[in-house]
Amino acid sequence: MLASEDAASEYEKWISECNIPPHLQHWNLINLENETQVRLLWRALCRTQAVANYYMNRSVFQPYARQFTIKLQVSAWDIPQNSGEKFARAARTTGFSGTNDNKYLMPMNIEQEDLPGLLQTNAEVLSYLLQPRNRKYSVLVDHNLWRLSEHDMLKTIHDQGIRILIDSGAYILETGNRDLAKLWLQVDGEAQAAVYFHSDNRAWVVYRDPAKTDTPLLATRLANNLENCLVYFDEAHTRGVDLKLPENARAALTLALKQTKDNTMQAAMRLRQLRTTQSVMFFAPPEVDMSIRDVCCNRLPINTHIESPHVIFWLLEQTCRANEDLQPLFQAQGNDFCRRTNALLKYPDYLTSENSKHNLLKRLQQPEHQTLMQMYGDTSRSSTSQGLENMLSSRLQDFTHRLSQFDISGIYEEDIFGEVEQEQERELEVQLETQREVERPVHYKALNYPGLSAAILEFFKTGKLNTTDKEIRQAFDHIGATEVGEKHDIKKTDSRLFVSEEFGRTIKLPRKNPTVGDRFLRPVEWVLWSPSTWTALVIIPEEAELLIPKLRLARGKAKVHLIAYAAPITRAMVPFNHLRYYSLPPIPLNATFPAWLKVELGILSGRLYADFEEWKLICDYFKGSPKGNISRGFLLEWLGVRCRAHDVLHTPMGYICLDRTAAEIDPFFVQTTTVAAPTIPAVPVEDAFEEIEDEKWEEEDSDDEDGSLYVDETKDDSFEKYDSAEEDDSSEESDSDEEDGSDEESDSNEEYEK
């Protein structure tokens, strides 16, 4: 959860149902390496419903039980779809050389070209295991017939004088490769080192001497001489790797249930000289030993000693059963491929004809969602042998005829396409073919800040905003210029919420992709509020920085207030909605704000949380005919662009988007003891002016000798003169601005580019 994108809001949902210490009420203060914190969190959260829901949705239901209404399905049959004459000359789809027991289950549009000189390979490699030195077999059980632990298994292998372990049956599951290599060195006191495969798929060497660090095998002298080394092939590396093993090496080869002959022979052939001097010995857990005796029951008495011929017979039987189990899936995928391909031939004009497109989609889309009754209820369901429509291609007709010859009676399509869950232990290793495509970052040119506009200066002096000025835009007119706003046709309203022209300027938009500006939308941070005209203007930090000295000098004559704001994307940030977190000059305690200001400011900024009373005001705002086409559908998309949070729907604003009702006792409304950011109490206007006046006289006493004037040049080339004594309280800030002006500009440009 801590690594998720919306960790703050998710953690707030967790702690809303329990009493938790104040020092653990912020997710970014949690240290997972602190055992005391983890213990306190466990006691508080282990039985909360929010944590249980999070675990089930993220760790259980998401990978295994997610279903959609419809699905679009492809299979291996689609791989050679474009392999026509033109493509065949350039490149062919090639496969892995080696065994080919499942070649009869390959898609019928793929042909396997076997070289005549290699047709005997399958039988030849099996004959290697029939030689006397490869006949040994052992069961990994103790005197109580219990399965041996991994440590005891290593002892058994050591007693046989074996120093190579090929774990094709994935017997080692609880120990990592390096840990097993070190454990094996403890069992075998004579080996000088052990070779294992790291997560980077390279062979590494761990030495007996703890002073030596692990080293890649190719960087050591052991690469050409593994005579006195232990070698461990985990299940994921029993194929596709090649080590130079000693000529007389003996290897332990593990077995597992449902293991096929292909996998076993690929693992055994890690011994490249198995036909001549090298040898293997089979090791099986008790369940495999029982399976071998069951398969060979007609040929083996219960006390018969098992050897490699019995193992080979069992492997061939397992291979046949595996192919039989895959036949229903093979037929279902083949029939589905024929239906989809035939639909493409039947409606070739699907790109231009709406009717053809609709009919094609009906044949391509398949239902996926199933009820519990369909999955576990009455088994009298329709079979997969559904009548296929007439194929328009002779090739497809041949495919359907050959597929109809498979006997899969009693198998249903829901079972075929569904994943049959079986309890098995296997070692999984992700094997990917990586094709690197370098994508260079796109650099956009940041726009320069031209300075404070004349319209903002006039608003500061008079409290009246010239809304006809080109450098002032109505807030929803600004939203309508974005990609989401254009999609929902958001229009200008009669609201008194405006934004400065600089608020919408961040980067130079490219002509080919002008909508890229939606990724560079500014957050709402500063608001100029005029209580006399009930007008609000959203400005950028650069404009606020130039206005702060003027507001300080204006004292009680200020016509506007500068309010700090942040979109409440977590419940702890709800106090920002009250617009009293910080203001300059301080807003009187008896001052009130219109309801529309908080609502529309929240829409513009993309907030997610509000208290219950304000939530009801937002609901009333969306009732009736929407202003400027501001609908719930628009709000849902706009929140996704603004805050980019995954869990928007489980917030108060998400409930509004879905038109859901909420109660005051809902978790996102319930007040907890969460420590929010410290709020600055509103100061009465008279006290604030007295404090400013006292500071002014103190500064005048100390700087009375200097009577110079400070000249401030604004964007409209007008000049205003201020006494330097009145400007001293911000002189340090001005000096630092002059010294670091170039750096700030470059930092600002970098921020635009981001």
72 found inside a domain = no
What is the spatial distance between Cα 272 and Cα 275, in angstroms, rounded to a whole number? 8
460 found inside a domain = yes
Whether 601 has a pLDDT exceeding 70, the answer reads yes
* Structure tokens, 319: 């291979």
439 found inside a domain = no
* Structure tokens, 334: 């083949």
Flag the least confident range among 296-310, 390-404, 488-502: 296-310
Strand partners, 536: 497, 529
CA angle 227, 228, 229 (to 5 degrees): 100
Q: What is the pLDDT of residue 29?
A: 78
* DSSP classification of residue 321: H
What is the spatial distance between Cα 336 and Cα 415, in angstroms, rounded to a whole number? 15
* Structure tokens, 473: 């835009």
Distances (CA, A) of 456 to 461, 473, 527, 550: 9, 12, 12, 12
Q: What is the pLDDT of residue 168?
A: 93
The reply to whether 715 and 676 lie within a common domain is no
CATH number at residue 258: 3.40.50
The reply to whether 678 and 702 lie within a common domain is no
Helix (H, G, I), strand (E, B) or coil at 221: helix
246 found inside a domain = yes
pLDDT tens column, 136-180: 999 999 988 899 999 999 999 999 999 999 999 999 988 999 999
Domain boundary among 683, 708, 731: 683
Q: What is the pLDDT of residue 679?
A: 42
What is the spatial distance between Cα 628 and Cα 690, in angstroms, rounded to a whole number? 45
Domain boundary among 256, 274, 306: 306
The reply to whether 677 and 722 lie within a common domain is no
Residue with tokens 């709800």: 574
Q: Do residues 149 and 183 touch, judged by C-beta distance below 8 A?
A: no
What is the spatial distance between Cα 645 and Cα 450, in angstroms, rounded to a whole number? 33
296 found inside a domain = yes
The reply to whether 674 and 742 lie within a common domain is no
Distances (CA, A) of 750 to 105, 506, 643, 681: 57, 11, 21, 35
What is the spatial distance between Cα 753 and Cα 446, in angstroms, rounded to a whole number? 6
- Residue percentage of the chain with pLDDT more than 90: 26
The reply to whether 143 and 195 lie within a common domain is yes
74 found inside a domain = no
User: Residue 687: pLDDT band by 50, 70, 90 thresholds?
Assistant: very low
The reply to whether 407 and 552 lie within a common domain is no
Contacts 24+ apart (CB under 8 A), 68-74: 68/368, 68/369, 69/367, 69/368, 69/369, 70/365, 70/366, 70/367, 70/368, 71/365, 71/366, 71/367, 71/368, 72/364, 72/365, 72/366, 73/336, 73/366, 73/417
Q: How many residues are recorded in the chain?
A: 754
Q: What is the pLDDT of residue 685?
A: 41
For 725, half-sphere exposure in the C-beta direction (CA atoms, 13 angstrom radius) is 16
The reply to whether 494 and 539 lie within a common domain is yes
The reply to whether 188 and 230 lie within a common domain is yes
Q: What is the pLDDT of residue 383?
A: 44
Q: Which residues contact 634 (CB under 8 A, 6 or more apart)?
A: 484, 485, 488, 490
Nearest Cα neighbor of 486 from 523, 509, 515 is 515
315 found inside a domain = no
Q: What is the DSSP string of 35-92?
A: HHHHHHHHHHHTT-HHHHHHHIIIIIIHHHS---SEEE---GGGGGGG-SHHHHHH--
* Structure tokens, 649: 């729907």
Nearest Cα neighbor of 197 from 172, 228, 162, 221 is 172
pTM assigned to the model: 0.56
Helix (H, G, I), strand (E, B) or coil at 192: coil
Distances (CA, A) of 301 to 137, 140, 309, 584: 16, 20, 15, 95
The reply to whether 539 and 670 lie within a common domain is yes
Flag the least confident range among 322-331, 432-441, 612-621: 432-441
3-state secondary structure 449-479: CCCCCHHHHHHHHHCCCCCCCCCEEEHHHHH
Contacts 24+ apart (CB under 8 A), 357-365: 363/339, 364/72, 364/340, 365/70, 365/71, 365/72
The reply to whether 285 and 374 lie within a common domain is no
Bridging pattern class, strands 365-367 and 203-207: unpaired
What is the spatial distance between Cα 310 and Cα 308, in angstroms, rounded to a whole number? 5
User: Residue 275: pLDDT band by 50, 70, 90 thresholds?
Assistant: very high
Whether 515 has a pLDDT exceeding 70, the answer reads no
Q: Do residues 682 and 588 touch, judged by C-beta distance below 8 A?
A: yes
The reply to whether 586 and 694 lie within a common domain is no
Residue with tokens 């109490």: 681
* Structure tokens, 161: 């004088």
Mean residue pLDDT across the chain: 78
pLDDT tens column, 240-270: 888 999 999 999 999 999 999 988 999 999 9
Please report which helix (H) or strand (E) contains residue 711, including its range: strand 709-713
What is the spatial distance between Cα 367 and Cα 378, in angstroms, rounded to a whole number? 19
**Residue 615 backbone dihedrals phi, psi, to 5 degrees:** -60, -40
Q: What is the DSSP string of 100-149?
A: -TTGGGS-TT------GGGTTHHHHHHHHTTSGGG--EEE-B-TTSPBPP
The reply to whether 625 and 738 lie within a common domain is no
Counted domains in the chain: 5
Whether 699 has a pLDDT exceeding 80, the answer reads no
Whether 410 has a pLDDT exceeding 80, the answer reads no
Whether 407 has a pLDDT exceeding 70, the answer reads no
Domain boundary among 367, 396, 417: 417
124 found inside a domain = no
User: Residue 368: pLDDT band by 50, 70, 90 thresholds?
Assistant: confident
* The one-letter amino acid at 459: F
Whether 183 has a pLDDT exceeding 50, the answer reads yes
* Structure tokens, 85: 């004459």
Q: Give the residue numbers spanning the domain of 739.
A: 688-753
Residue with tokens 């208290």: 611
Helix (H, G, I), strand (E, B) or coil at 485: helix
For 392, half-sphere exposure in the C-beta direction (CA atoms, 13 angstrom radius) is 10
What is the spatial distance between Cα 611 and Cα 601, in angstroms, rounded to a whole number? 15
Strand partners, 365: 72
